[in-house]
Structure 1
Amino acid sequence: MQHIIELLIVLLGIGVTPLLYYRFPKIPKHIEPPDDKKRRSLSVIIPARNEEKNLPLLLEDLKEQCYGNFEIIVVDDGSKDKTAEISKSFGVKVITICDKPSGWLGKTWACQKGAEASEGELLLFLDADVRLKPQAVERILKTYEKKGIPLSVQPYHKTEKCYEQASLFFNLIQIGANGVSLKKPQNIGLYGPLIFISKDDYKTIGGHESVKENIVEDMALGVKLKEAKIPYDLYVGDEEISFRMYSGGFQSLLEGWTKNIASGAMRIPLLLFMMIFFFLSSLISVPLHILTFFISEQGTWLFVYLVFYVLWVGILYNLSKNVGKFHPLAVLFYPLPLLVLVFVFFTSLYKKIFKKKVVWKGRSI
């Protein structure tokens, strides 16, 4: 009986996957351009703390955009490196903030100050590790102008080093848990790396001040938009809208995901949470049962779970191509990045429950 229950859990996880990842919506590439005379002014706001390596890449990308009618504001959030100097060398507006008020987190305060200093009627918030091909801003602007509602993009995750493969499941969970991939999108919250919103809508929801204490401020902003009855669209990035997260080493990867994952999980609606739960339970169960049945020499069950393993590898290979550049070996040996996810989740949950601090970019939060 126990084997049957465990088998049902595996099958249920496989069964919910096409529902959970029904689609991966991309920013359209071919939209009829509106009248340029009717276009509103745009401000690009980049909160940056110790981003001397990433920032020049993004600023160079912004200089090469086909649509170039926008101002760029870099908010130097108390950096201890050359973030401010590099920004000034590109001729952009630089705001340096050294002390944030009590009750604010660094990023929310930086975004708020950038918005207050902006002159544009439209605001594009970008994380410093985002990369944009020359058509990217034009695509985003045209997509916004077609519907006139805020939009947010989870960039395509480009990886270079071996340890970065550990982000595979974090990317899938982040997209799946937001409900953007469902047949009927749920849009639980925004994606922090790229948020496009009019200044009027931004002011209506109280800006970043309304979410100043939230570690997952992007999800909180989405909640504020819903409360104000302002609809928004979510997209998944492609080669033209990408990022390379946590390039500073494996420790930065662990710290970054630990900062977000438990707080984000607590905001997921129950039904969506259960779908994620069975998705992960099935993935975890299969390799564990392979090991168990191999040791106990139960050949029939071992064969069954080997078939499931091959099936999951095929499913993950197809899913991974939509969210980032992940090596086939990371998919083939998926229990390894899955183990990192489980470790980070329970570490984050422990810190959340017992109110332990997480170190991120030299700050304890």
Structure 2
Amino acid sequence: MKPISIVVITLNEEKRIARLLTDLSKQSYQNFEVILVDSNSDDHTVAVAEKFAPTLPSLTTHVMTTRGVSLGRNTGAKLAKHSTLLFLDADVRLDSNFLSRSVAKLVDEQLEVAGVYMGASRLPFHYKLGYFAFNAGLFATQFFFPTAVGACIFSSKRVHEEIGGFDEEIILCEDCHYVKKAAKTWRFRMIPTAFEFDPRRLEQDGIAKMGLTYLKANVRRFFMGEMRNNEIEYPFDHYQKQ
């Protein structure tokens, strides 16, 4: 199967990045490189990550002077050696067969861009209900108005370059805009695998509030287009202030 370039974006993630890198080191599928792109963290994120060099020899780190989610992903894509890309957030958790199952689905369905469902096996029941509703929306919209969770998106270098990467002017739903652009030329689908991530955003903002925020944002996008003026404010890294 094809090698993968995994782009991980970080900002002050010294308490969480080790979990993801441990998960990657335990993958049954090991044909990948890891490119960690840090947004000039104020903590020891990069130092913690670099300790994984013995278990992840394909790990490289790059520190940006300017912060930004889309900027970080675009920077990592430029540094990538392989044609298949996987964009991950630093607080993502993956089971040991995630890559093997996902890559097999990409090959079987001949996909170059794909979204992944959110898993909630470690979360309380009311979170599971919220995730089920969100995943149902991801499934339904993939056929006419593609949306995806930026914390875990598969793409390829030619798709990324053709659509101009992630739009760095968009703060909220830049991930949905990315797959929507890609789907105009390339077949997009959600693949039946799942990732998990730290529920800190849900705990701080509330699952209902966050769900309504994204619902409002995507309804607005559907009827009026992308939000380039931060119409619905959602600052990068605001949950770190807890």
* TM-score relative to the length of structure 2: 0.80
Equivalence map 1:203-352=2 (5 Å) = 203-208=161-166, 210=167, 212-227=169-184, 229-237=185-193, 241-247=194-200, 250-251=203-204, 253=206, 260-268=214-222
Deviations 1:293-337, CA, capped at 9 Å, x for gaps? xxxxxxxxxxxxxxxxxxxxxxxxxxxxxxxxxxxxxxxxxxxxx
Alignment match, 1:297: none
SS at match of 1:151: strand
| Counterpart amino acid of residue 116 in structure 2 | V
Deviations 1:225-270, CA, capped at 9 Å, x for gaps? 133x211111354xxx33133337732557866764432232347x
Whether 2:82 is the aligned partner of 1:123: answer no
Q: Pick closer, same or farther for the CA change 1:265–1:165 going to 2, 3 Å.
A: farther
8 Å contact kept, 1:45–1:74: yes
Structure 1 residue 169: Cα displacement: 5.5
- Identity among equivalent positions (%) equals 21
Which runs of 4 or more aligned residues in structure 1 lie more than 6 Å from their structure 2 counterparts after TM superposition?
Answer: none
Whether 2:59 is the aligned partner of 1:95: answer no
SS at match of 1:99: coil
Relative to its length, the structure with more strand (as a share) is 2
Whether 2:75 is the aligned partner of 1:199: answer no
Alignment match, 2:119: 156
Whether 2:135 is the aligned partner of 1:175: answer yes
SS at match of 2:27: coil
RMSD value over aligned CA atoms? 3.1
Q: Pick closer, same or farther for the CA change 1:171–1:267 going to 2, 3 Å.
A: farther
Alignment match, 2:56: none
Q: Which runs of 5 or more structure 2 residues have no equivalent in the other structure?
A: 54-58
Q: Pick closer, same or farther for the CA change 1:258–1:361 going to 2, 3 Å.
A: farther
Number of aligned residue pairs: give it.
229
8 Å contact kept, 2:74–2:165: yes
Relative to its length, the structure with more helix (as a share) is 1
The CA distance in 1 between the partners of 2:118 and 2:217, in whole Å, is: 21
Q: Which runs of 5 or more structure 1 residues have no equivalent in the other structure?
A: 1-38, 101-105, 270-351
Match of 2:35 among 73, 86, 91: 73
The CA distance in 1 between the partners of 2:174 and 2:183, in whole Å, is: 14
The CA distance in 2 between the partners of 1:268 and 1:158, in whole Å, is: 31
| Counterpart amino acid of residue 226 in structure 1 | A
Deviations 1:34-81, CA, capped at 9 Å, x for gaps? xxxxx4331111111222222111101111111111110111123222
